[in-house]
Amino acid sequence: MLIFPAIDLKNGRCVRLYQGQFQQETVVNENPLEQAVVFEKLGAKVLHLVDLDGALEGKPTNLPVIEQIAKTLSIPVQVGGGIRSIETIETLLSVGVARVIIGTAALLNPAFLQEALEKYGERIVVGIDAKDEHVATRGWLDVSDVHYIALAKQMEKMGVKTIVFTDISRDGTLAGPNFEQLQALQEAVSVQIVASGGVSSMDDIKQLNEMNLYGVITGKALYEGKIALEEALQAVEVC
């Protein structure tokens, strides 16, 4: 299982939110590049970036920082937040981003997603963010009536190979992942699943690894010292 250390970008800084609420922001590092380099030095094999401003505005707003990180690191970087056009995808890939995560547009603009999949294949990842099992969009401000598993099945039919699943109610809470929803998703589709939201301990990492998930994203637990990245990496390699 891959461990994706997370860097959430807001106003050019590395922050953490509580349950996706923009007013509950904690700055964890004024220098996101510095933080990214630390993760790579600790042994991270991949990095997860989210442009929080972009998720709200519908277009990347932290591109200079993203480019700086992607071009400095030697490990693959995946980016989500505000990716709603082919031009945006092309821009991100051109500055060194390995994979892009399409969230809101996957639900609201399937034609765009289909075009992106045809052009870029497995470099396109879909992010499904759910609240009470229903898909949320536009930086988690709107909640649809679409069930997360129904959307995942639709994504699989379209050719999506990897899905990042976030239970919004767990994000930034250190309350533990929603294992039940993750298990249901794992059983419903055959795509690669990346768990996100609520990871709080090594026990969480080990349990997710035992579920044979493709990956896990962790942020707050790393920043608060609940999980040591080196220990987590070693645990998933041994299991």
Considering only the C-alpha atoms of the chain, give the largest distance between any 2 of them, rounded to a whole number of Å: 42
- Do the strands 99-102 and 77-80 form a parallel or antiparallel pair, or are they unpaired? parallel
Q: Within 13 Å of residue 12, how many CA atoms lie on the same side as its CB?
A: 2
In the annotation, is 204 catalytic? no
Task: Identify the band that residue 18 occupies on the pLDDT scale cut at 50, 70 and 90.
Answer: low
CA distance 116 to 110: 10
* Domain carrying residue 103: 2-238
In the annotation, is 129 catalytic? yes
| SS3 state at 230 | helix
Residue 74, Ramachandran bin (φ over 0: left; ψ between -120 and 50: alpha; else beta):
alpha
pLDDT of residue 112: 97
Helices (H) and strands (E) in the chain, counts: 11, 12
Q: Is 183 within 8 Å of 175 (Cβ atoms)?
A: no
- Helix 148-158 / helix 179-188 crossing angle, nearest 10 deg: 30
Q: Is 49 within 8 Å of 13 (Cβ atoms)?
A: no
- Which member of 8, 51, 53, 171 is catalytic? 8
Residue 21 has pLDDT above 90, yes or no: no
Q: In what helix (H) or strand (E) does residue 77 lie, and over which residues does it extend?
A: strand 77-80
Please tell me the least confidently modeled range out of 96-105, 146-155, 164-173, 186-195.
164-173
Q: How does the average pLDDT of the chain come out, rounded?
A: 92
Residue 22 has pLDDT above 60, yes or no: no
Place of tokens 């922001």: 25
Residue 3 has pLDDT above 70, yes or no: yes
Q: Within 13 Å of residue 76, how many CA atoms lie on the same side as its CB?
A: 10
Q: Cβ of 39: how many Cβ atoms within 10 Å?
A: 22
Between the alpha carbon of residue 89 and those of residues 2, 48, 227, 229, 235, the distances in Å are 23, 16, 32, 29, 34
User: Which tens digits make up the pLDDT trace of 131-185?
Assistant: 999 998 765 567 889 999 999 999 999 999 999 999 888 877 778 999 999 999 9
CATH code, domain with 108: 3.20.20.70
- Which member of 53, 129, 171, 204 is catalytic? 129
Average pLDDT for residues 29-45, to the nearest whole number? 96
Count how many domains the chain has: 1
Residue 239 has pLDDT above 60, yes or no: no
Q: In what helix (H) or strand (E) does residue 228 lie, and over which residues does it extend?
A: none
Residue 4 has pLDDT above 70, yes or no: yes
pLDDT of residue 174: 79
Q: In what helix (H) or strand (E) does residue 69 lie, and over which residues does it extend?
A: helix 63-72
Task: Write out the two tokens for 89.
Answer: 């995808």
